[in-house]
């Protein structure tokens, strides 16, 4: 008989009400795979986008579907060929698989070892479980695609969320000057993460506020919000600046040809996870936790992330 695990899952696309929690069969541990005892699993906006069926064109789904792409946990069995992370290894990963079915909101998961890296020891389990997706997104956007360097200026939209909060810290680590945009109530939070200046997107056009702190314009605009806030911010970019968005494909933005644009879709990456671990273990990267929920309360975790106003990371602790 197959081994079972407690898991959150849904059997058809839809709203939060589709989430159930109960026992599911665990797959056999196959070639190159490991079984992990999940200690913490971060929830991300993509988890409700997938649950609502809006991601089917990009990644196919199979039911019952366990949501969740972030994980931190302990390797408890290694399949044939999985030898990099032996039994007992404390690991974390961004597990975006080719088919959405075996996600991370469960007590145990079976996962290809290639998604996992050793976890940051200086972070709590909750913080480690909340870092992979948001951390890799910020790193691949601001540092890799955006090429941010010491002495440059960056404007970060959505800077109090999981992605934006990590982006502030990565930008400060390379020696950039950071202007962070979120609601006014999060100004102190963004400053604690390292922001030099903060802007309340509800207080007026963002570019006018940027003009006061970066009169020459910014070298890099990192967009984790899109919509009106992005439209209002475009004129804050230097004529030869770079715009990196994790939401907008750039087609409707009518950018000058001199502006470099890229849309980033975060990719699973062990080297990227290793880099984030080194920063965290050096005390240069924190993961503030907004809330933790038990597996039984997975619906509440979805309610929080679907508010679109989470400060820090929401994490499920099975």
Ligand X SMILES: NC(=O)c1ccc[n+]([C@@H]2O[C@H](COP(=O)([O-])OP(=O)(O)OC[C@H]3O[C@@H](n4cnc5c(N)ncnc54)[C@H](OP(=O)(O)O)[C@@H]3O)[C@@H](O)[C@H]2O)c1
Give dist(CA 165, CA 189) in Å, integer.
Answer: 9
Provide, rounded to whole angstroms, the least separation between the CB of residue 61 and ligand X: 17
CB-nearer residue toward ligand X: 5 or 311? 311
Provide, rounded to whole angstroms, the least separation between the CB of residue 290 and ligand X: 8
Provide, rounded to whole angstroms, the least separation between the CB of residue 134 and ligand X: 5
Residue nearest to ligand X (CB): 161
- From residue 314, how far is each of 21, 100, 254, 277 by CA, in Å? 18, 21, 35, 19
Q: Would you tell me which residues interact with ligand X (CB under 6 A)?
A: 44-46, 133-134, 137, 157-158, 160-164, 181-183, 186, 201, 224-225, 229, 246-247, 264-266, 305, 308-311
Give dist(CA 318, CA 313) in Å, integer.
Answer: 16
CB-nearer residue toward ligand X: 24 or 163? 163
Name 272's Cβ contacts closer than 8 Å, sequence gap at least 6.
135, 136, 139, 140
CB-nearer residue toward ligand X: 146 or 164? 164
Provide, rounded to whole angstroms, the least separation between the CB of residue 225 and ligand X: 4
CB-nearer residue toward ligand X: 163 or 243? 163
Provide, rounded to whole angstroms, the least separation between the CB of residue 142 and ligand X: 12
- Work out the widest C-alpha separation in the chain, in whole angstroms: 67
CB-nearer residue toward ligand X: 284 or 309? 309
Give dist(CA 92, CA 94) in Å, integer.
Answer: 7
């Amino acid at each position: 008989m197959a081994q079972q695990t407690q898991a959150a899952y849904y059997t058809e696309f839809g709203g939060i009400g589709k989430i159930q929690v109960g026992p599911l069969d665990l797959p056999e541990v196959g070639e190159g795979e490991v079984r992990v005892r999940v200690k913490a699993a971060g929830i991300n906006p993509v988890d409700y986008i997938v649950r609502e069926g809006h991601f089917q064109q990009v990644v196919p789904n199979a039911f019952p579907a366990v949501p969740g792409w972030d994980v931190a946990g302990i390797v408890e069995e290694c399949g044939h060929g999985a030898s990099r992370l032996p039994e007992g290894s404390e690991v974390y990963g961004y597990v975006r698989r080719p088919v959405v079915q075996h996600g991370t909101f469960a007590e145990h998961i079976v996962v290809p070892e290639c998604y996992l890296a050793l976890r940051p020891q200086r972070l709590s389990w909750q913080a480690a479980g909340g870092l992979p997706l948001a951390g890799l997104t910020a790193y691949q956007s601001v540092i890799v695609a955006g090429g941010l360097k010491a002495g440059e200026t960056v404007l970060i939209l959505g800077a109090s969320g999981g992605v934006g909060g990590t982006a502030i810290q990565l930008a400060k680590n390379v020696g950039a000057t950071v202007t962070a945009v979120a609601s006014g109530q999060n100004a102190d939070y963004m400053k604690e993460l390292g922001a030099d200046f903060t802007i309340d997107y509800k207080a007026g056009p963002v570019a006018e506020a940027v003009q006061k702190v970066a009169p020459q314009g910014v070298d890099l605009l990192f967009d984790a919000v899109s919509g009106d806030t992005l439209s209002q911010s475009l004129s804050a970019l230097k004529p030869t600046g770079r715009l990196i968005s994790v939401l907008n494909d750039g087609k409707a933005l009518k950018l000058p040809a001199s502006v470099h644009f890229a849309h980033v879709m975060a990719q699973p990456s062990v080297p990227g996870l290793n880099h984030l671990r080194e920063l965290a273990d050096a005390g240069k990267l924190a993961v503030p936790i907004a809330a933790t929920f038990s597996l039984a309360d997975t619906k509440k975790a979805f309610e929080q992330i679907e508010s679109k106003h989470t400060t820090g990371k929401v994490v499920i602790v099975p």
